Amino acid sequence: MTENSNPDILYTIVDEAPELASASFLPIIRKFASAADVSVGTKDISLAGRILAAFPEGLSAEQRQSDDLAELGQLVKTPDANVIKLPNISASVPQLVAAIEELQAQGYDIPSYPEEPATDAEKATRARYDGMEGSAVHPDLREGNSDRRAARAVKNYAQNNPHSMGAWASDSKTKVSSMPGNDFYANEKAATITAAQAGNAKSEFVGKDGAVTLLKDSWPLDAGTIADATFMSAKALGSFLAGAIEDTKADGTMFSLHMKATMMKVSDPIIFGHAVKAWLAPVFDKFGAEMDALGVNANSGMGDLLDRVKDNADIMAAIDAVTGTRPAMYMVDSDKGITNLHVPSDVIIDASMPAVIRAGGKGWDAAGNKGDTNCVIPDRCYATIYDETINFFKANGALDVTTAGSVANVGLMAQKAEEYGSHPTTFEAAADGTIRVVLANGETLHSHEVEAGDIWRACTAKQAPIENWIELALDRQRLTGTEAIFWLDANRAHDAELIKYVTPALKAAGKADLFKIMAPREATAQSLKPSPPVRTALPSPATCCVTTSPICSRSSSWAPQPRCCRS
């Protein structure tokens, strides 16, 4: 079929299983749509497609690909956009390298991934590849806020045909462990930019010697934008992780770490690397130099580490010795010996935590035995959602799928709102010093004293997307007629600024009495509370949650609490 230059619907070409499915399903869609004069075009946003589009230099005319992601990024800013977007790879470095090698083997002349770029050419290549890492697609396409709810047909089916749920025991030892302080939650500072402060801001590192290093230049901040910055202390993280490992052992449970390394592609692999180092601390203490020489990078995971040290009998023996003293480890694949710490992108919090919760708080250990697990989620911004959910199930048992409601979700994400932990506004401090945000007018907006290794991140949410998000929430509340909750924590700097938008907007709409503003923990508890009259009277969502959470609003997977995107 020839491609209509301006099709009614655009279907995305992606990766892996969903793309295989499209090979069968898309011809059916096109056949049926053509009967109604509806044209269906495609845009290639697959990882391979993006690589080929980025490196046309060595490719023949037939091999070259247009930059469909950029075209789609423009299209979503037009009123005509109608895009069906399937899940695509949020590439980790190992996946990116594998894709490059496959394309090279297929005869595509593209550069290899420069692991340690030295020359300008290598640095330029690396920069192009860095742009494809993680969830590179979503920020470009999400020119709107999200409106998520269970499809009626699917919810009806789930209630009539309940899937199995693991039983929750009141004495379950499964729990969530988070840092007591000095995490992103504790250190956050936020402000709403005034007209006098608007313009190109920058972030910079000031060393103990006063030398200033530019981290990010030309960072446009409009008036009305909420700009925040925070950091996680590497030392505090390290001691927390060491403690969590010991605590897990004392509990007799499995150690598990739940991160989102695919999306928070700078911060989360570093946190993951700290966990690898904490787990193998005696090995790193003794063989640090040797492992460095072998190219070990803890952030790449235990799988890569083992591959690099496998021929060094001393290190392998030391790893075996340490492993013998550790608690059980939560496994990704018990049969193949893939641990939680093998690959940073294997355990993704918004899929892994619901799986643990749905299984009655269980994970699987190396021997394939089911057991309770200590779910380590270092930062507290959203860990409380899972903690509260687990507490609820311990006290009340699992939800009954035949009667459980669902929670519609309106998420803030337009124009890169709430994008943090990824390039280019997240940095690992190279030394002790200060990281600050300096505004166009020269004023310092935020400043943090950091130590070497601390993870600093900044994030913005623009005014128009915030206002659009509140309007969507009002719409959704009106359509569902249920209680609606803004999941905002007045004690968190960023959320406190958002509340300054939300409260007057609700009042102006005359709807303040229909909404609550609750911190994620309290909102979780409220959403899990049984509400019998609602269930029978209303097959639609039992509550409506309005969130900024990267977990609830931006993931394409399950939302944090089991009723949210269940079924």
Partner 1 sequence: MLSIVKLMQGGGLFETGAGGSAPKHVQQLVEQNHLRWDSMGEFCALGESLNFLADSKGNAKAGVLGAAAEVATQGILDHNKSPSRKVGEPDNRDSHYWFARYWADALAAQGDDAEIAAYFAPIAAALTEGEAKILAELAAAQGPAADIGGYFHPDVAKKAAVMRPSATLNAIID
Site for partner 1 in 414-473 (CB under 8 A): 414-415, 464-465, 468, 472
d(CA 50, CA 44): 8
CB neighbour class for 327 (10 Å; exposed up to 12, middle 13-18, buried from 19): buried
Site for partner 1 in 100-119 (CB under 8 A): 102-103, 106
Q: Judged by CB under 8 A, does residue 70 bind partner 1?
A: no
Token digits of residue 447: 């400043």
CB neighbour class for 9 (10 Å; exposed up to 12, middle 13-18, buried from 19): middle
Neighbouring CB atoms inside 10 A of 223's CB total: 14
d(CA 262, CA 257): 14
d(CA 58, CA 32): 40
d(CA 348, CA 258): 6
Q: Judged by CB under 8 A, does residue 200 bind partner 1?
A: no
**CA dihedral for 44, 49, 54, 57, sign (positive or negative):** negative
Q: Judged by CB under 8 A, does residue 479 bind partner 1?
A: no
Nearest to 261 by CA among 142, 381, 350: 350
Q: Judged by CB under 8 A, does residue 133 bind partner 1?
A: no
> At closest approach, how far in Å is the CB of 137 from partner 1?
10
Q: Judged by CB under 8 A, does residue 368 bind partner 1?
A: no
* Total number of residues that touch partner 1 (CB under 8 A): 78
> At closest approach, how far in Å is the CB of 559 from partner 1?
10
Q: Judged by CB under 8 A, does residue 25 bind partner 1?
A: yes
Q: Are 204 and 436 in contact (CB under 8 A)?
A: yes
Q: Judged by CB under 8 A, does residue 81 bind partner 1?
A: yes
Q: Judged by CB under 8 A, does residue 336 bind partner 1?
A: no
> At closest approach, how far in Å is the CB of 92 from partner 1?
12
Nearer to partner 1 (CB atom), residue 29 or residue 496: 29
Nearer to partner 1 (CB atom), residue 15 or residue 489: 15
Q: Judged by CB under 8 A, does residue 514 bind partner 1?
A: no
Q: Judged by CB under 8 A, does residue 27 bind partner 1?
A: yes
> At closest approach, how far in Å is the CB of 76 from partner 1?
5
Question: Which run of H or of E encompasses 217?
Answer: strand 212-221
Classify 404 as helix, strand or coil. coil
Q: Judged by CB under 8 A, does residue 487 bind partner 1?
A: no
d(CA 297, CA 317): 19
Q: Which of 41, 87, 371, 397 binds partner 1 (CB under 8 A)?
A: 87
Q: Judged by CB under 8 A, does residue 225 bind partner 1?
A: no
Nearer to partner 1 (CB atom), residue 43 or residue 436: 43
Cis peptide preceding 162, ω within 30 of 0: no
Nearer to partner 1 (CB atom), residue 16 or residue 109: 16
> At closest approach, how far in Å is the CB of 555 from partner 1?
8
Token digits of residue 42: 């495609």
Q: Are 87 and 350 in contact (CB under 8 A)?
A: no
Nearer to partner 1 (CB atom), residue 24 or residue 536: 24
Q: Which of 169, 242, 322, 351 binds partner 1 (CB under 8 A)?
A: 351
Q: Are 227 and 201 in contact (CB under 8 A)?
A: yes
Q: Judged by CB under 8 A, does residue 75 bind partner 1?
A: yes
Token digits of residue 555: 């993931």
> At closest approach, how far in Å is the CB of 413 from partner 1?
8
Site for partner 1 in 154-183 (CB under 8 A): 154, 156-157, 161
Q: Which of 89, 270, 356, 417 binds partner 1 (CB under 8 A)?
A: 89
